[in-house]
């Protein structure tokens, strides 16, 4: 990445109006987040009925955002829906793109956004798989293209992975990071481009072994989910794996854990599975999940998840000793 002479490198940091390109599950959640942060939002999506669905989704999210705490001036009335990306990007101070994970579509979208947005406006992609280097080649100003990958649902989960591509100016990364922090997100700076970035790769490592254990009959889908949700997942919601290993080591900290449990870790690594998502394994997983959810109300489950997430995020925010 190109270097920068200042913390924001000349990129726009006074953000009052955000353009959101694509208003599916992730895009609509971003819209709710930005509106709850007291910003004006101009959104666009070519799908039929997209505006009505977006406004319905924002209305559904709003009570949760009120429980989290709205910023001054926050209102669903500050949402405008327009016909295309050019109209959304023109006059925006920041652009959050959430289009399909298809490179040719991304590049065409960024060509259009780049032509419409002022040169000092950062263009951020929510892509979970494509890299900023891959999409910025379509731009006359590739220096302002960054990854701003959220964790679903963005209006509840604070994490955002921020990364610049091969042609990204360091100032654009700094400006995006500062903006996300200002609206209450928890951005992490990635150091190089990877398939799936960082958080999804960590998830994928767990999914790999979970699916292997189900496929070999070592545990049921319900048992796998219970093992995480009622075990290490509770701790992982508070601290990351490195810090937890440090606390497990007592006075000796991480060094003691690695010395004491290192051989066991290596033995488990050597024994981990290497599954393939065959039709048979897919069927086993789906059937197992259906059995685990039998008799449960999915909408009620999601509502309880959101309520508990709000409580957890609020309590973590009020726990300054946690990193």
Q: What is the pLDDT of residues 300-312, one digit of tens each?
A: 999 999 899 999 9
Q: Which domains does the chain have, with CATH numbers?
A: 17-189 (3.40.50.720), 199-317 (1.10.1040.10)
Q: What is the pLDDT of residue 22?
A: 98
What tokens appear for 203 in the block? 């998830």
Q: Are 115 and 25 in contact (CB under 8 A)?
A: no
Q: Are 40 and 57 in contact (CB under 8 A)?
A: no
CA distance 149 to 1: 18
- Per-residue pLDDT, averaged over 164-188, amounts to 97
Q: Cβ contacts of residue 240 below 8 Å, gap of 6+?
A: 323
- Per-residue pLDDT, averaged over 92-113, amounts to 97
Q: Are 35 and 74 in contact (CB under 8 A)?
A: yes
DSSP string, 151-178: -SSTTT--EEEEEE-TT-BHHHHHHHHH
Question: What pTM, to 2 d.p., does this model score?
Answer: 0.91
Taking 3-state DSSP, the helix, strand and coil percentages for the chain, each rounded to the nearest 5, stand at 55, 10, 35
- Per-residue pLDDT, averaged over 142-155, amounts to 96
Q: What is the pLDDT of residue 170?
A: 96
| Mean per-residue pLDDT over the chain, rounded | 95
Q: Are 125 and 135 in contact (CB under 8 A)?
A: yes
* pLDDT tens for each residue of 243-261: 999 999 999 999 999 999 9
Confidence of residue 5 (pLDDT cuts 50, 70, 90): very low
């Amino acid at each position: 990445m190109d270097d920068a002479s200042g913390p924001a490198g000349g990129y726009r940091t006074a953000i009052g109006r955000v353009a959101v390109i694509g208003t599916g599950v992730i895009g609509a959640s971003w819209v709710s987040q930005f509106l709850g942060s007291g910003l004006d939002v101009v959104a666009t999506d070519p799908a039929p009925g997209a505006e009505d669905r977006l406004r319905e989704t924002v209305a559904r999210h709003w009570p949760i955002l009120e429980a989290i705490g709205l910023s001054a001036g926050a209102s669903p009335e500050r949402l405008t829906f327009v016909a295309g990306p050019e109209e959304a990007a023109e006059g925006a101070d920041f652009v959050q793109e959430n289009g399909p994970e298809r490179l040719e579509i991304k590049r065409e979208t960024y060509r259009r956004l780049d032509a419409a947005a002022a040169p000092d406006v950062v263009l951020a992609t929510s892509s979970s798989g494509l890299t900023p280097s891959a999409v910025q080649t379509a731009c006359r100003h590739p220096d302002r293209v960054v990854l701003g990958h959220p964790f679903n649902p963005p209006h509840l989960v604070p994490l955002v992975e921020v990364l610049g591509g091969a042609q990204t100016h360091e100032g654009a990364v700094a400006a995006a990071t500062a903006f996300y922090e200002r609206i209450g997100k928890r951005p992490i700076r990635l150091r190089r481009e990877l398939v799936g970035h960082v958080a999804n790769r960590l998830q994928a490592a767990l999914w790999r072994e979970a699916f292997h254990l189900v496929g070999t009959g070592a545990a049921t889908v319900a048992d796998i989910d219970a093992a995480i949700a009622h075990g290490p997942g509770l701790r992982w919601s508070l601290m990351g794996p490195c810090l937890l290993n440090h606390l497990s080591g007592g006075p000796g900290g991480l060094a003691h854990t690695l010395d004491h449990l290192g051989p066991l870790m290596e033995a488990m690594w050597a024994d981990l599975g290497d599954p393939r998502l065959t039709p048979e394994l897919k069927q086993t997983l789906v059937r197992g999940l259906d059995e685990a959810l039998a008799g449960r109300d999915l909408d009620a489950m999601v509502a309880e998840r959101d309520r508990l997430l709000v409580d957890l995020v609020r309590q973590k925010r009020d726990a300054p000793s946690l990193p």
